[in-house]
Structure 1
Amino acid sequence: MNRAHDRLLLRLCTLPFIVASLSSCAILNNFEPSVTVRPITPNEYITLQRGDILVSRQLSALTTQTIRVAGLNVDECVTHLPLDCTLALTNTKDISDERKLSALAELWLQRAITMHTTAAHAGDSVATLAPWMEAARYAYAYLFFTRRTPDERAFENRQTQVRDWYNYTVQQAITQLFKGLSTQARITTSDKVNTVNIDGWTAHLKFDARQPEGVTFPQELIPTSSLAFQGLHSIYRRDGFGAELVAVMDHKSSPRDDTRNTASSSGSKDANRSRMRAPPWSEMPSPNMTAVFSFDAKDLDELVHVREVTVSVHDPLVESQLMLHGHRVPLAGNFTAGYGLWLARSGFSRQSLHTLFGREHGIEHPHVYMMQPYDPDRRIILMLHGLASSPEAWVNMTNEILGDEDLRREFQVWLVSYPTNMPVIVNHATIRQLLQETLRNFDPHGQAVASRGLVIVGHSMGGLIARLMVSSARHELRDWALTDSRINMNATDFTHSLLGPILRFQPFPGVTRTVFIATPHRGTAVAGYRPARWLSGLIRLPLTALENIGDALHASAMASSESGDRILVGVPNSIDNLDERDPFIKAAVDLPISDQVFYHSIIARSSTAGSLEDSDDGLVPYSSSHLTDAVSEKIIIYGHSVQEAAASILEVRRILREDITAHRRAVVPREH
């Protein structure tokens, strides 16, 4: 009994040692579960599904799986991609073309990013073109040369990933091509196609997008993904196929460097004449464009060996779709970046102050800035800023219009910059002439859609000018001129011929709708207060004012023998014209608005306290902004710069949509 008990005790004592020694043996692995599970967070799940070389700088999960299924080592593929992995993946028979091609596209993209970083550190700007082209080629192959069509994969994450890789590689490759044009490339030109041979590739460059007048090639191509803006409420773009770029044209077309708009208080007559000869309009020097790489091949085998690419550049404002290999694909586009870059480089804010006080580097003559190359099939929205302002006043309103697909399809935006120190009536006359010249240049016979159905939007003093644009003056302003002591109607015969078109005019042809924003139709008492009078005294009109108004507008006490500076002392400036007691503002308020024009009012009140009739926006009272026969009147709680308010932008968009409907139905405006 004791002996049996001892043997049992021995066995029990040695059992843990036996199990412990066997635990390191492979045989016990059969007792472990082959699959384990753990919960993951939604964030981990999304990262697993959508993470890739662009998002996390690591290969996507599907590419990693494809490499492993092919029996390859992931680290070795990343390190030795060109020699080993491409050939091995291509020859693998049991993996679908979609998986192979998408994996190769990402692997080449990873290689391109690595080589680009290395080359950048070494100061080599074009050495990394080849891997970008390989990545673009394999992404293109996945999208258009596999069994399933892009439409059949429309809702798949993988296709979205590959499209993004393609767009990014095209963005990088075209900027490398552009840099190489002046260094390593050989360029030949035939039938408006530039052929570039660089880094073993032949690229045929076609600019399908219309460029500004006089421009043959951009100075810069800037990826929109490299730009971040402050001051813009929204960035508007369209998802699709292609690399989104800003094509920066001649820097001289920016306001800062534009000699035709640079004022000088002591310039020669020859210099002034030279400025006057320059066109008073320009198309935005940084249009948005979209670049597409297409590879001409009849099948997948030919495609993966081709080293020739067609590079086409498109205008996303004009084109929204492309046909590629029998498939209709959406064209990517950015509608904000070019506009934002132009404003950021413009120097408008400083220029507007120089202009107000008649200092150097202001502007002497009005100028039209087109937010896209002229389009004869889009109607024009003409925007007029207010006192001491510039086209920057419309920064977000213009961006919202450009970002609205319906409005973008119907309209093109023209921003007017003008010297806000000049008398309102003179600015009106010169802006009217400017618009006539610009339309005549692009549409000599007045038959284009753009020349009809114009919409004018004016803020503050710009609203006063807008009202004159749609009004008629027969004898009203001449009667004012005869009684205003500041005007000498009997100076010379030249005075009468000069003042004729200034004092007598008809509504501008083609304008069918006007929006007045915080417009002092009856002036404002603020302009007559002591601070405003002091500010008015600091305003100095440019000597070029004499080119427009000669010796007609001057204080009667001034003798004609005195210098131009002395003569201009008596000329009423813009602040004078805004005074509710000013004789001109009293005469202009009664001018009849055309019964062929719809007009709307957007009026601000700075507080909800008190009655509407007694309210104001801090500068302009409601009683001055209100027009009894306006089609609509929108009251917004805001200050005088109400054109910046979201509610104001929404109201303008509503009015423009209403205008589109009326224009298409050819509705005849009601009589006022």
Structure 2
Amino acid sequence: MTSASPSKNTVTQANKKMLPIASVALLTAAMLLPACSVVSVEKQASAKTISAQRGNIVTDNQLSSDTASALLSAGLNEQACMQQFDLCLTQLTDSILNKHYRPALAIFAELHYAKARQLADSQNCRNALARPPLDPYYANAPLSDDDAKTQQEETDLCLNNYQDRLFDAVKYSYTYLFYDSLTHDFEGADESYSSAHTQTRIPTDNDIQTQDIYNAASNDVITQLYRSTENSDKLMNGTKVEYLTIPSTKRDSNDQAAIANRAPLKGKAIDQVKVMKVQVDDYDLGIYLPNENNYLQNAHKQDSALADLVSTYELRLSGLNSVSKRPGLGISLVASLDDRYTTTIRQLLSSSLSGRFANESDNTKDSEPSSRIYPTGHLLLTGLIKPSGDSVLDVLSSRQLDIHLYNPYQTETVNILNDNYPLAANFSAGYGMWLAENQLDSVGYLNLITRQLDARLPKLFMLEPYDPDKRVIIMLHGLASSPATWVNLTNDILNDDKLRDNYQVWQIFYPTNLPILENRYQIQQLINTTYEQTDPTGQNRASKNSVIVSHSMGALIARMMLSDENLVEDLDRLDDQDILSNSEKRQIRDALKESFGEKELRKRFELHSLPQVDTAVFLSAPFRGTDYADRWFTRALRRIVYLPVGLVKTVTDNLATIATQGDLAQNPLGALYLQNGASQLSDKSSFIELTKDLTINSRVTYHSIIANNDADITKGLAQAQPDGAKIDLSQALEEDAKDERASVSVSDDTSELPPEPLVAAVIVDKNISQALTQRLSDGIVPYTSAHLDGAASETVINGGHSIQTNPQTILTLRRILHKQLQE
């Protein structure tokens, strides 16, 4: 009997039923197979690739690609690694099979720093920063004794771990960076690797990343250590401080601790002096400062000379046209001294009401020039940490770290393991903090319009500690202004290596409501006193070849300080224009002599040039006055500008029997002392009449920078003197203007250039200057008032009166300073 064969339809139906089953089986089998990674390639911006290659725990708050790859290769999860950190390090060490051990040091440095940051953010470590409870009856009530003890133990353990990880980050990154100079005493190191590959290597991304780790960890150590020794917010535990004094055999009874630095030790100023020993858990830290008495001259206290120590890592400097930096090793710091002077609106208003000077104990003290000289209250320092040891294993196991704080103005390189390396610096940081802390612009304006019982006399600010080997630049601002007007100019000097190394800046802050003759006398007294205090014998380089840079009203004062004329002899010329009788003139003179004393009065009129100054730069100077001071809106402003009450009262009490104050102010002689500074800028004032033809001492080289607000006139000057013209490329053309200029037919070879470029500045020669008239003006001061015969150079800048901020002005000044250095 034969079996029956299945029909075709039956087979087809059976196959249809089996297909889904087969598909499911295949999918199931695929899922059970070992997983395979699928690689895809996509394009991305090159900036993202570079950023990913160079980012690390410091810049991106995540591990670098090299460290992350090392963990993956060892089968380690980053989060698990942070949780079981010591075990992670052991397994990672076992997984590194490459005999070139140097890259591993960078990986360990980053991991230690990542762990330190994690610990610093943890609640246990943050408890060290916690404040006492505000209200014991609510949720923030104190813990019980047992809970408090437990919390303290956990906090101490966290802080100790944090410190260890931070110190290890410093040591591993230091070892990586200076591997070439250390003995290779660890197993598996290739001795020939250093000499064959690293001495001439181009810096890699890993080098830059590890320097970031070294700097960031050093920054945390130094700033946290300072806070801990000051008993403020701290993350350092078990800190014990010992202040070191100069050995008794080398000091007298006036010498204090070396940190006060009243007298430097034997040796060079750039030498480092150990001033403190700090014990942090089982680490011994040595603190070193520069061997200078000038740099730390304000540090009078042994343990609290610095009110604050701020890292530039924690500062964002805004408002500066650029930030002056020097790349290199170390952390840029700003040390703020506890006795620094500040100027604020609140102080001005309170002194106006009380008649006393803020920051001064009495008015008599303020009248002394020496009390109005202010050394910088913000010292620049660069911090560097050197672990002890000459071999890799010595450094990694060291419990001795030396923290060096350098004066970056004096020290440009540091020696580490017999090799010299550039020292980092941020030269704008201290200046920026001073400007931010002092409300100079507002105070300068309010000085004009607030009624004050006593004259606020000029002040001198040193922008860096006095350096006997640098020339001095003295800056004098204009009407209703302040030293803040020089911010970009000063910052560009700091940004020029040659100028920064050869010049130091002194800025004068003076009340522009005082009569200009009185301001000249007070400012010159102040400058003379500063030179005498800093260099009594006048032998320092700083006492020679000084430069005065002045704007507007400041330029009038500066010219008087560079002249040797006797203005008393010119008073008769003013008397000839007066309608008063001879007896009335005599009475006015006698009253003025009685008010000031004849000797003191003559000091205001007898001019003597500053012997230290041999170069001057005048900006927008109204040497022959301006009619702008007599326009109706300016006259209205002049009426609210007050003379100090004390000055007016002193003079007018003696003159009360002669005439009213208003009459006296109209009298040519009386106007010299009863008109405010703003009124004396008028081209009709007695002051301008008296001083317009002053001559400058022949040994002084002077330059004029004059503004012109008519671009067409500046363009005409450029066509007459093409060699002296500078084209304005400070801003791009508007699209409409660009299209309009492009439509003008020009020859093929110049089709890319605008046919009528704007002119930024023109150097004017003597022949051209004689033909210029009042049509050339900055809108306030005409050219004929600002021009001085005999100037070594005269530059016309396209712009308004406030040209001290103009980039072409700053560039012109820098050229003048470079030329002075060459000569």
Interval of TM-score (by shorter of Structure 1 and Structure 2): 0.7 to 0.9
Equivalent residue in structure 2 for 1:370, among 442, 446, 462:
462
Q: Give 1:622's aligned residue.
A: 783
**In the alignment, is the contact (CA less than 8 A) between 1:63 and 1:99 conserved in 2?**
no
RMSD (Å) for aligned C-alpha atoms = 3.7
Structure 1 counterpart of 2:614, one-letter code: T
Mapped partners of 1:460, 1:370: distance in 2: 22
Matches within 5 A, 1:184-583: 185-190=239-244, 191=246, 192=258, 193-208=275-290, 210-216=295-301, 217-250=305-338, 252-256=340-344, 263-264=351-352, 267=355, 271-277=362-368, 279-360=371-452, 364-475=456-567, 478-479=570-571, 483=575, 488-491=588-591, 492=593, 495-543=597-645, 545=647, 557=659, 571-583=674-686
Structure 1 counterpart of 2:550, one-letter code: G
Equivalent residue in structure 1 for 2:88, among 76, 82, 85:
85
Give the CA deviation at 1:362: 9.3
Mapped partners of 2:654, 2:202: distance in 1: 70
Cα distance, 1:92–1:30 mapped onto 2, change above 3 Å: closer
Determine helix, strand or coil for the equivalent of 1:229. Answer: coil
Structure 1 counterpart of 2:448, one-letter code: L
Q: Give 1:48's aligned residue.
A: 52
Please list the CA deviations of residues 451-474 of structure 1 after superposition, one character each: whole Å capped at 9, or x if unmatched: 000010000001111111212213
**In the alignment, is the contact (CA less than 8 A) between 1:262 and 1:361 conserved in 2?**
no
Cα distance, 1:326–1:275 mapped onto 2, change above 3 Å: same
**In the alignment, is the contact (CA less than 8 A) between 1:129 and 1:177 conserved in 2?**
no
Query: 166-175 or 459-468: which moved more?
Result: 166-175
Please list the CA deviations of residues 138-182 of structure 1 after superposition, one character each: whole Å capped at 9, or x if unmatched: 111111135648754442111111111111111122111011003
What's the TM-score once normalised by structure 2's chain length? Answer: 0.72
Greater radius of gyration (CA)? 2
Determine helix, strand or coil for the equivalent of 1:381. Answer: strand
**In the alignment, is the contact (CA less than 8 A) between 1:262 and 1:364 conserved in 2?**
no
Give the CA deviation at 1:540: 2.1
Cα distance, 1:111–1:445 mapped onto 2, change above 3 Å: same
Cα distance, 1:385–1:140 mapped onto 2, change above 3 Å: same
Mapped partners of 2:432, 2:206: distance in 1: 32
Please list the CA deviations of residues 522-545 of structure 1 after superposition, one character each: whole Å capped at 9, or x if unmatched: 011111233333322322222454
Cα distance, 1:166–1:468 mapped onto 2, change above 3 Å: same
Give the CA deviation at 1:62: 0.5
**In the alignment, is the contact (CA less than 8 A) between 1:137 and 1:304 conserved in 2?**
yes
Structure 2 counterpart of 1:211, one-letter code: L
Cα distance, 1:552–1:139 mapped onto 2, change above 3 Å: farther
Q: Give 2:103's aligned residue.
A: 99
Mapped partners of 2:548, 2:329: distance in 1: 35
Please list the CA deviations of residues 31-65 of structure 1 after superposition, one character each: whole Å capped at 9, or x if unmatched: 97997655454234213311211222111111122
Mapped partners of 1:29, 1:553: distance in 2: 111
Percent of counterpart pairs with the same letter?
30
Cα distance, 1:370–1:33 mapped onto 2, change above 3 Å: closer
Determine helix, strand or coil for the equivalent of 1:433. Answer: helix
Determine helix, strand or coil for the equivalent of 1:490. Answer: helix
Query: 8-17 or 606-615: which moved more?
Result: 8-17
Determine helix, strand or coil for the equivalent of 1:279. Answer: helix
Cα distance, 1:346–1:446 mapped onto 2, change above 3 Å: same
Mapped partners of 1:641, 1:337: distance in 2: 25
Mapped partners of 1:581, 1:432: distance in 2: 26
Query: 15-24 or 105-114: which moved more?
Result: 15-24
**In the alignment, is the contact (CA less than 8 A) between 2:473 and 2:548 conserved in 1?**
yes
Query: 26-35 or 145-154: which moved more?
Result: 26-35
Please list the CA deviations of residues 182-236 of structure 1 after superposition, one character each: whole Å capped at 9, or x if unmatched: 3353211224311122244322112227235345532111121222233221122
Cα distance, 1:68–1:588 mapped onto 2, change above 3 Å: same
Where does structure 2 lack aligned partners over 5 or more consecutive residues?
Answer: 131-155, 181-192, 232-237, 247-257, 259-274, 665-669, 717-771
Structure 1 counterpart of 2:296, one-letter code: Q
Equivalent residue in structure 2 for 1:643, among 789, 804, 822:
804
Q: Give 2:220's aligned residue.
A: 172
Mapped partners of 1:242, 1:627: distance in 2: 49
Cα distance, 1:499–1:286 mapped onto 2, change above 3 Å: same
**In the alignment, is the contact (CA less than 8 A) between 1:254 and 1:285 conserved in 2?**
no
**In the alignment, is the contact (CA less than 8 A) between 1:426 and 1:548 conserved in 2?**
no
Mapped partners of 1:549, 1:642: distance in 2: 37
Mapped partners of 1:554, 1:163: distance in 2: 74
Give the CA deviation at 1:425: 1.3
**In the alignment, is the contact (CA less than 8 A) between 2:365 and 2:371 conserved in 1?**
no
Mapped partners of 1:42, 1:601: distance in 2: 49
Please list the CA deviations of residues 478-506 of structure 1 after superposition, one character each: whole Å capped at 9, or x if unmatched: 53587277993334476321122221123
Query: 142-151 or 244-253: which moved more?
Result: 142-151
Determine helix, strand or coil for the equivalent of 1:380. Answer: strand
Please list the CA deviations of residues 376-435 of structure 1 after superposition, one character each: whole Å capped at 9, or x if unmatched: 011000000011111111111111111111110110011111111111111111111111
**In the alignment, is the contact (CA less than 8 A) between 1:379 and 1:452 conserved in 2?**
yes
Matches within 5 A, 1:9-88: 21=25, 37-81=41-85, 83-88=86-91
Please list the CA deviations of residues 576-634 of structure 1 after superposition, one character each: whole Å capped at 9, or x if unmatched: 22111112212212121122111111111222256862122221111111123212222
Cα distance, 1:363–1:300 mapped onto 2, change above 3 Å: farther
**In the alignment, is the contact (CA less than 8 A) between 1:480 and 1:583 conserved in 2?**
no
Determine helix, strand or coil for the equivalent of 2:122. Answer: helix
Cα distance, 1:168–1:481 mapped onto 2, change above 3 Å: farther
Determine helix, strand or coil for the equivalent of 1:322. Answer: strand
Determine helix, strand or coil for the equivalent of 2:590. Answer: coil
Give the CA deviation at 1:319: 1.9
Please list the CA deviations of residues 550-597 of structure 1 after superposition, one character each: whole Å capped at 9, or x if unmatched: 9899995259xx9xxxx9997122012211111221221212112211
Cα distance, 1:380–1:570 mapped onto 2, change above 3 Å: closer
Determine helix, strand or coil for the equivalent of 1:298. Answer: coil
**In the alignment, is the contact (CA less than 8 A) between 2:476 and 2:555 conserved in 1?**
yes
**In the alignment, is the contact (CA less than 8 A) between 1:167 and 1:243 conserved in 2?**
yes
Mapped partners of 1:555, 1:632: distance in 2: 51
Mapped partners of 1:574, 1:79: distance in 2: 71
Give the CA deviation at 1:653: 1.3
**Aligned residue pairs, count:** 654
Equivalent residue in structure 1 for 2:129, among 124, 133, 137:
124
Mapped partners of 1:317, 1:462: distance in 2: 29
Mapped partners of 1:169, 1:390: distance in 2: 40
Where does structure 1 lack aligned partners over 5 or more consecutive residues?
Answer: 663-672
